[in-house]
Structure 1
């Protein structure tokens, strides 16, 4: 040994190797070294993504099964009777179902605007089902088959502007027809009604009120305007209003783009029936005239039995004859009006 040199310490394996390189060192995964590193959060993220994929897969399967089930049920509808076949499972309903499926799949955010545009386009471009509408009206309006058939032909017309005048004595179904048309009209936001015999005495003010309907007309679908309770002396508003609707100031393209159906309802007095009838038949040629026939005892009997069926009440024969006799005394002024009140007053509830 040289002088001044410190004795060297014997070298061992434990002093030269990194503790992690020792063959008998503990597994870092077991001793928890990775607990505080990014590896753990990454593995947890992978597990969470895997669980979400599994849940998403189940939702896709459930949505597909729902759509297939509804389509299968829709295809089997005729087997369940005529009433079931009237369920509107196509069109809006199926598209609503598709929106629900898209929501389950988590795609509603991307497709929301496109689906809204599609639904709006379907709403605006749907066809007017006149057969269904007038089938429903005929269940309420009795003994006016010719009038309803003539009105249905007009409503089916492809013209952009259609005007009709319903003529007849009170209580024969004119306003009831308009109410049925209004209720069954697919574009409810486009329906506008006005009762002419209001407390507004000035006819000019009344005209300005119905003129305001023009600002509410839309390009979407068809527009329906109903002006009720007109008398024969009010016939002068018809050509004026028709002209204003067809030639609108400040909106040259509106008349070409919008489809408008105007229904004028005239109550005729039986005392001067034919004079008023001839006067109203001088209306412009662009107005279709639909005549509602006056009622007699048989028509009143039909109305009475319908009211009994609707109210689910019965009347004995003596009471039926009495009600019909009273109704015939005012048939020219009331028609079938007032029969429901008689049924409610004198009828007995049907035993179930």
Structure 2
């Protein structure tokens, strides 16, 4: 059995351990409290710094906003009073818009490049030197309205000439093309053509190309042309219009088309020499070499006065397929 002294010593040691344990828990609690207070102080400092940072730029931004407003108002007043500067600014803005929309500056006001069309026709049209000179002269003198009427028998280059002018017309978005129908009545086709007039624009030149018109419908075209001219003059619209008439009568094909304000371009009838030149040109274009025997067969088979060069390309291609 433990003595009284041992019991007293055990009790004393137990009491010391409890005191030390209590002290440690107290110290731990105080440390936790200190850390929490430090964390709160740090957070408050950060929040105050953020508030000060956000508030200072707002004051600066307000100053900049007021200054920008004053400058803008001054610029508006300057533009309003300076008419020359306002016109120049409008011109620059319009050029930038045309560059974005059409890919070219000054799209609406650029000059008509008639020389480019003349060069193309010179290299593609055969046997119609007088016609090419008349077309070049008419386009060179073009200012606001130029109307041409192509007349001639089949296969003499009317449609090809019209298509080449249309293809190289520099205002591509302003092109109106129509091929005369042998099925619809002239009245319905006139109604359609009159609707074309409403689509004309004052930006650049307008091109109207009407092909394969039977010569018997010349009065219908004359009625359309009169309304077209009136509308163009009233609205300051610039245009080039070309009518291609068809006839198998060589006498009618050699006479001017009776339409007011329209210049007639008469295509001469072809002969065997023209057909030979046509075959040579089309063979080179198609990259086909014809033997002399086949060339002679084509020359004998093609009626120059009746068909001209109308089907030369297709016949050359057919000869090449047969040989293959």
* TM-score past 0.5 threshold: yes
The 1-side partners of 2:253 and 2:278 are apart by 26
Structure 1 residue ranges without an equivalent (≥5): 1-33, 43-110
Q: Shift of the alpha carbon at 1:301? A: 0.8
Displacement of 1:295: 0.8
SS in 2 for 1:263: strand
CA offsets per residue over residues 228-262 of structure 1, 9 Å max, x none? 111221121233122101223xx9831xx101222
Change (3 A) 1:138 1:339: same
Is 1:333 matched up with 2:306?
A: yes
Matched residues, number: 240
Larger Rg: 2
In 2, the alpha carbon distance for the partners of 1:321 and 1:157 equals 43
Give the TM-score normalised by the residue count of structure 1. Answer: 0.61
- Between the aligned partners of 1:313 and 1:285, the Cα distance in structure 2 is 45
1:226 to 209, 216, 237: 209
Task: Tell me the residue number matched to 1:244.
Answer: 227
- Which residues of 2 match residues 31-42 of structure 1 at below 5 A? none
Structure (1/2) with the larger helix percentage:
2
Local SS of the residue matching 2:190? helix
Tell me the CA shift for residue 285 of structure 1.
4.6
Aligned partner of residue 171 in structure 1, secondary structure: coil
Q: Are the aligned partners of 1:226 and 1:264 in contact in 2 as well (CA < 8 Å)? A: yes
Q: Per the alignment, do residues 146 and 203 of structure 1 end up closer, same or farther by CA in structure 2, a change over 3 Å counting? A: same
Of 204, 207, 219 in structure 1, the residue corresponding to residue 187 of structure 2 is 204
Structure-to-structure mapping, 1:200-349, within 5 angstroms: 200=184, 202-248=185-231, 253-254=234-235, 257-269=236-248, 272-275=249-252, 277-278=254-255, 281=256, 283-327=258-302, 330-347=303-320
What 5-or-longer segments of structure 2 have no aligned partner?
1-44, 55-91
CA distance in 2, matches of 1:185, 1:174: 17
Task: Name the TM-score, length of structure 2 as normaliser.
Answer: 0.66
Following superposition, the deviation at residue 282 of structure 1 comes to 5.7
**Cα distance, 1:160 vs. partner?**
1.9
In structure 2, do the counterparts of structure 1 residues 189 and 242 end up closer, same or farther at CA, with 3 Å as the change threshold?
same
1:318-343 superposed Cα distances (whole Å, 9 cap, x missing partner): 0100011101xx32332112211222
- Structure 2 partner of 1:145: 129
